[in-house]
């Protein structure tokens, strides 16, 4: 997603929040016609959250991509350093041999040839120098081809880093909007659903089966986090967002995943719904801004949204894009 799309999502999120606020502050005379039902409020808050979660996930994705680009620049620099050193060493070697021949011939090779002193020896030395220089020149040229390729790659990476750094700075500003909207969303949810402050009595009692594999280990960790609160851009140990919970869970299984639902989708092996087993991942919405962990029996464990706790839900509560397995 581009920066303009992120800004647009932030604006739409703010508009959705405003719509919820309008529903809550309808003047007395028209209240009989405009008083929202719980279902209408749920729909308004869900719309606001869908827009906002896109911004949150884009923020996570941009930070992940920038970190990866910087790591690639550092790796390229590490590869360039020894190559440049090898070129310098080869050039120094040829120079040392040439200097040695010059010194051994007194005033220089031409003088030695004219004087007739050790001409055979000098010609042998010159032939050796020519042979060594030719071999070293080929090696230098080969090294320069590799070095040029790395330099070209480095320039492209630095350009990408500059672009991503610009996005990162812009998203730092967007972050303030996100946090403000999140605070407003939480206030609205509290105002409308004060009784939801504690949801332990509503928790799905389902207990997953934990397979003896990486997915099972991750699922067990996610299950142990039930009741902990959602916090955007968090990956534990006390709060999580959706992709942060998945990241932390699979870290327990020795697997490394990015902190982004969209990037996780690109990294997993895609499977069909019929292939789902506990510990697999379920991805939601066309821009893939939400991810959950399949718990079995048509259920998922997820960090839903701000103001809610990690919980077990029915899998088909939102549009599913696809399914994935961490291998």
Give the pLDDT band of residue 89 (cuts 50, 70, 90): confident
Contact 13, 21 (CB under 8 A): no
Percent of the chain with pLDDT over 70: 62
Where is average pLDDT lowest: 16-20, 38-42, 84-88, 302-306? 16-20
DSSP state of 35: P
Q: Is 140 helix (H, G, I), strand (E, B) or coil?
A: helix
Max mean pLDDT range (70-84, 149-163, 248-262): 248-262
Tell me the fold of 199-325: endopeptidase fold (from Nostoc punctiforme) (3.90.1720)
The residue ranges of every structural domain in the chain are 3-194, 199-325
Q: What is the DSSP string of 291-309?
A: EEEEEETTEEEE--STT-B
Residue (of 279, 277, 291, 298) closest to 322 by Cα position: 291
Distance of CA 70 to the CA centre of its chain: 12
- Structure confidence at residue 46 (pLDDT): 67
Higher pLDDT residue, 298 or 110?
298
Give the pLDDT band of residue 151 (cuts 50, 70, 90): confident
Give the pLDDT band of residue 61 (cuts 50, 70, 90): confident
Contact 2, 166 (CB under 8 A): no
Higher pLDDT residue, 238 or 162?
238
Residue (of 138, 112, 136, 115) closest to 125 by Cα position: 112
- Mean pLDDT computed over 27-48: 55
pLDDT of residue 152 exceeding 60, the answer is: yes
pLDDT of residue 173 exceeding 80, the answer is: no
Give the pLDDT band of residue 232 (cuts 50, 70, 90): confident
Average pLDDT, the chain: 76
Residue (of 57, 48, 39) closest to 20 by Cα position: 48
Q: What is the pLDDT of residues 196-226, one digit of tens each?
A: 444 444 567 899 999 999 999 999 999 999 9
Interhelix angle 3-24/119-192, nearest 10 degrees: 10
Higher pLDDT residue, 113 or 271?
271
Residue 271 has phi, psi (to 5 degrees) of: -130, 175
Percent of the chain with pLDDT over 90: 35
The secondary element (H helix, E strand) that includes residue 92 is helix 38-104
Give the pLDDT band of residue 13 (cuts 50, 70, 90): low
DSSP state of 195: G
C-alpha distances out from residue 9 to 246, 296, 326, Å = 24, 33, 30
pLDDT of residue 80 exceeding 90, the answer is: no
Where is average pLDDT lowest: 18-32, 41-55, 189-203? 18-32
Residue (of 209, 251, 189, 171) closest to 4 by Cα position: 171
Max mean pLDDT range (21-35, 142-156, 178-192): 142-156
- Structure confidence at residue 141 (pLDDT): 78
- Structure confidence at residue 121 (pLDDT): 57
- Mean pLDDT computed over 84-109: 62
- Structure confidence at residue 177 (pLDDT): 75
- Structure confidence at residue 25 (pLDDT): 45
pLDDT of residue 66 exceeding 60, the answer is: yes
Q: Is 281 helix (H, G, I), strand (E, B) or coil?
A: strand
- Structure confidence at residue 28 (pLDDT): 40
């Amino acid at each position: 997603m581009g920066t303009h799309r992120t800004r647009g999502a932030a604006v739409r999120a703010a508009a959705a929040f405003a719509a919820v606020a309008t529903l809550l502050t309808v003047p007395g005379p028209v209240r009989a016609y405009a008083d929202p039902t719980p279902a209408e409020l749920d729909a308004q808050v869900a719309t606001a959250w869908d827009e906002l979660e896109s911004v949150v996930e884009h923020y996570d994705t941009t930070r992940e991509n920038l970190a990866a680009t910087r790591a690639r620049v550092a790796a390229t620099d590490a590869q360039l350093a020894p190559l440049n050193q090898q070129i310098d060493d080869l050039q120094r070697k040829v120079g040392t041999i040439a200097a040695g021949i010059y010194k051994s011939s007194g005033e220089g090779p031409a003088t030695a040839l004219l004087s007739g002193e050790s001409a055979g020896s000098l010609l042998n030395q010159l032939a050796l120098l020519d042979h060594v220089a030719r071999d070293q020149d080929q090696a230098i040229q080969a090294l320069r081809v590799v070095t040029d390729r790395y330099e070209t790659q480095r320039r492209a990476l630095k350009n990408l880093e500059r672009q991503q750094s610009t996005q990162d700075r812009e998203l730092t500003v967007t972050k303030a909007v996100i946090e403000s909207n999140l605070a407003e969303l939480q206030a609205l949810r509290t105002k409308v659903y004060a009784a939801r402050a504690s949801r332990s009595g509503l928790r799905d009692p389902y207990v997953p089966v934990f397979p003896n594999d990486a997915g099972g280990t991750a699922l067990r960790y996610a299950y142990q986090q039930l009741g902990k609160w959602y916090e955007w851009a968090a990956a534990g140990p006390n709060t999580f967002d959706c992709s942060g919970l998945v990241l932390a869970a699979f870290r327990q299984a020795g697997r490394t995943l990015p902190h982004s639902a969209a990037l996780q989708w690109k990294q997993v092996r895609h499977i069909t719904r019929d292939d789902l087993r506990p510990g697999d991942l379920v991805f939601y919405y066309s821009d893939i801004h939400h991810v959950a962990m399949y718990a079995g029996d048509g259920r998922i464990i997820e960090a839903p949204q701000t103001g809610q706790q990690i919980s077990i839900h029915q899998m088909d509560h939102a549009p599913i894009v696809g399914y994935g397995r961490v291998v």
